[in-house]
Amino acid sequence: MSLPAPPASSPAVRKVMQGNRKVGTRPEVALRSELHRRGLRFRKNAPIRTPLRLVRPDVVFTRRRLAVFVDGCFWHRCPQHGTSPRTNSPYWSTKLDRNVARDIATDEVLRAAGWSVVHVWEHVPAVQAADVVAAYLADTDDRGPMSPSGPRSADPDVGEAQTTSSP
């Protein structure tokens, strides 16, 4: 169920909102470029069919069953940089809360289907984000995490990448 969008508060705001991309954002492209530069091969926006829904992560390592999402600070409520608009605040509060809830549900669906998930905030430099992805891939083989603790994880409050894995 989608919320009816309120009218834009100005023509400039409307133009900015229409310019927001769903795929191929600068942080996504920078991460993909860095991963490719390191010799890591992946699929971008590849569909993952789970019993409950179709998911399209930003970067997918199919053989390793790793889904990588580059989360925008505004859209996914970054603890460091997330903001709440003052104009149309009830709409935006509900919208952004739903985005976060959807992210959590998507992670649970992917983990239940045997996938591991890595989230990276858009403000994390591409080299640092690629380090997290590469470290996770180095810790796994084709059967999943080698250690019972799963992939390395960093605190998202300090601008690091955030990871979750399958049990």
Confidence band of 155 (pLDDT split at 50, 70, 90)? very low
3-state secondary structure of 159: coil
Greater model confidence, 9 or 26 = 26
**Could you state, in order of their start, the residue ranges of all structural domains in the chain?**
22-164
Task: Pick one of 3.40.605.10, 3.40.960.10, 3.50.50.60, 3.30.160.60 as the CATH number of 22-164.
Answer: 3.40.960.10
Which sign, positive or negative, has the C-alpha torsion 76, 77, 82, 87? positive
Roughly what angle, to the nearest 10 degrees, separates helices 26-37 and 126-138?
50
Q: What is the pLDDT of residues 85-117, one digit of tens each?
A: 888 888 888 889 999 999 999 999 999 999 999
Query: What is the pLDDT, as a whole number, of residue 158?
Result: 33
- Tokens, residue 86: 């003052």
Distance CA 90, CA 131 (A): 38
